[in-house]
Amino acid sequence: MAELCVHLVPLFNALPTNDQMQIEELVHHQNYQNGELVMDPTSSNNLVIVAHGGARLYTLDENGRENITQILKTGDYAGENWLFGEANTNTYVEATENSDICLLNRNDFLALMKKKPELSIQLLEQNIIKVRAMHKQIQLLSLPKVEDRLLSYLQAYAKQVNKNSFTLPLKMKDLALYLGTTPETLSRKFVLLEKQGSLKRKLRHIDLL
């Protein structure tokens, strides 16, 4: 698992092998069960890397309602803002399945960037990709009809995994939060899309038609 954290993350995998091995020595590896918190506002400032599995980032509104801001899959990372001193006041990272997570301490990461300035460029490039993903989510939520949001999300995910038959990476509750609706409404919209001939669904398995 030690190599996975480095080789799977675009932030590090372009570095020479010797540099990657140095980073591996700084990374702390932990296993988290489905539903277990990886980070919360009381945690230390770490870069969170998903070596295997999945996780979700969410905030809580004033009523305690969750708002999902990012979905992490194998090779994704989060927490770069915390590494540069931004306080984590309301962000939680929770495993969405049994996952191997790698944590890189803030001080270790900053020392690493001083030794490897090219990491700054890599970080900037990856942040641009993440900003684009956030813009896509905003565009998704701007669609007035929930069924349009759902179908757009499914089509985008199918393109991401390069197949029209797949298992949803999120539970219905989490997908509903991500799409700005309720599980009950989401379930009805799945039925509607099936009737329209857009997809077939069996539990979390989806076939886009």
CATH of domain 2-119: 2.60.120.10
pLDDT of residue 185: 94
The overall average pLDDT reported for the chain is: 85
CATH class of 143-208: mainly alpha
List, in order, residues 6 or more apart from 69 with CB less than 8 Å away: 57, 58, 59, 91, 134
The winner for highest mean pLDDT among 40-49, 72-81, 136-145, 153-162 is: 153-162
Q: In this predicted model, which residue has the larger pLDDT, 69 or 32?
A: 32
Q: If you ran DSSP here, which 8-state letter would residue 100 be given?
A: E
| Alpha-carbon separation of residue 152 from 157, 176, 191 (angstroms) | 9, 14, 16
Listed in order, strand segments (DSSP E) in 40-128 are: 46-52, 54-60, 66-73, 77-78, 92-95, 99-105
Are the beta carbons of 10 and 106 closer than 8 angstroms? Answer: no
Are the beta carbons of 171 and 130 closer than 8 angstroms? Answer: no
* Reported confidence tier of residue 7, pLDDT bands at 50, 70, 90: confident
The percentage of the chain sitting over the pLDDT mark of 90, rounded to a whole number, equals 35
List, in order, residues 6 or more apart from 121 with CB less than 8 Å away: none
pLDDT of residue 46: 86
Amino acid at 180: G
pLDDT of residue 2: 46
Give the mean pLDDT of 111-139.
Answer: 74
Per-residue pLDDT tens digits for 142-185: 888 999 999 999 998 899 889 999 999 888 888 888 888 899 99
**Looking at the predicted structure, is the pLDDT value of residue 44 above 80?**
no
Are the beta carbons of 188 and 147 closer than 8 angstroms? Answer: no
pLDDT of residue 4: 56
pLDDT of residue 1: 45
Question: What is the C-alpha radius of gyration for the chain, rounded to an integer number of angstroms?
Answer: 18
Q: What angle do CA 126, 146, 192 make, to 5 degrees?
A: 125
* Domains of the chain, residue spans: 2-119, 143-208
What are the backbone angles phi and psi of residue 15, rounded to the nearest 5°? -75, 155
